[in-house]
Amino acid sequence: MTDRRYTRNAPRAHTFIPNPDDVRISEAIAAAETHTSGEIVAVVASESDSYLYAPFLWAALAALVVVWPLIYFTWMTVQWIAVIQLVVFASLAAILASRPWRYRLVPRSVLVERAHARAVEQFLVQNLHTTAGRTGVLIFVSVAERYAEILADAGIHAKVPEGTWQSIVDDLTSHIGDGRTADGFVSAIGQVGRHLAEHFPPGSAPAHTLSNHLIVLN
């Protein structure tokens, strides 16, 4: 497992990789798998969590804080203070509920935790853990969290040098940060494919059973 943050803005997954680039990535997976019995799956998720609790939490905290100056330094009635408190809560919750604000309100450690959990989920959902020889590799990007990760099953992970997956993720995130997302995926797929081909050439395991197309989760 390895991960890396990138610094590009976070659109929805279907606009993050438009249709022509989707085809390029799918073709890159198919081409890489002609040289190996291993399996490569690429997944792009718009987000790994909605984080809808965050705007309400911060709005509630602000509404609790705002009443104290009004209580101690004004002669406002309790009714008016309650109205102001309600207005502050409703206004902030509405403003902070927008997607860009929601992600800024959540600590980076929480974003990473949720994105990693989604990657592990997808590794299992896409049946990469069922490949013969434990050769499945997942290339995962969660757009909202600006997070990328490679998960490799035990068979291939044990055969590659330490830091290999990190290097591939670094290259992928660099491309994404430069606005060349499809190029980053194609490069990452090629590098993963070469490692799989070296250790698991064609015929060393049953034929490919998993999908080659880019999986987009909106």
Res. 71 pLDDT band, cuts 50 70 90 = confident
In the predicted model, is pLDDT for residue 78 greater than 70? yes
Closest to 148 (Cα-Cα) out of 110, 127, 174, 128: 174
Least confident of 2-6, 24-28, 35-39, 43-47: 2-6
Q: Tell me how far apart the alpha carbons of residues 146 and 8 are, in angstroms, rounded to a whole number.
A: 7
The strands making up 147-152's β-sheet, listed across from edge to edge, are: 2-5, 147-152, 136-142, 39-45, 215-217
Residues 90 and 183 in one domain: no
Model pLDDT for residues 153-205, shown as the tens digit of each residue: 999 999 999 899 999 999 999 999 999 999 999 999 999 999 999 999 987 66
> What pLDDT does residue 100 have?
86
Residues 147 and 202 in one domain: yes
Q: Tell me how far apart the alpha carbons of residues 62 and 92 are, in angstroms, rounded to a whole number.
A: 8
Position with higher pLDDT, 49 vs 8? 49
In the predicted model, is pLDDT for residue 149 greater than 50? yes
Q: Amino acid identity of 216?
A: V
H-helix or E-strand containing 64?
A: helix 53-73
Over range 93-110, report the average pLDDT: 93
Q: Tell me how far apart the alpha carbons of residues 197 and 131 are, in angstroms, rounded to a whole number.
A: 15
Over range 13-27, report the average pLDDT: 85
Q: Amino acid identity of 60?
A: A
Neighbours of 80 (CB within 10 A): 12
Quote the domain boundaries for residue 179: 2-49+107-217
Q: What is the CATH number of the domain that holds 137?
A: 3.10.310.50
Residues 38 and 73 in one domain: no
Neighbours of 204 (CB within 10 A): 13
Cβ atoms 41, 126 nearer than 8 A: yes
Neighbours of 97 (CB within 10 A): 16
> What pLDDT does residue 209 have?
72
Residues 158 and 197 in one domain: yes
In the predicted model, is pLDDT for residue 148 greater than 60? yes
Cα-Cα end-to-end distance for the chain: 23
Residues 125 and 184 in one domain: yes
Residue 11 tokens, joined: 């659109």
Residues 17 and 89 in one domain: no
The residue among 36, 70, 105 that closes a domain is 105
CB-based contacts of 63, cutoff 8 Å, min separation 6? 85, 86, 88, 89, 92
Q: State the total domains in the chain.
A: 2
Over range 25-35, report the average pLDDT: 94
Residues 100 and 22 in one domain: no
Residue 126 tokens, joined: 């896409």
pTM of the prediction?
A: 0.85
Residue 178 tokens, joined: 């430069």
Residues 131 and 157 in one domain: yes
Position with higher pLDDT, 106 vs 18? 106
Residue 160 tokens, joined: 């590659």
Residues 115 and 30 in one domain: yes
Neighbours of 11 (CB within 10 A): 13
Residues 179 and 74 in one domain: no
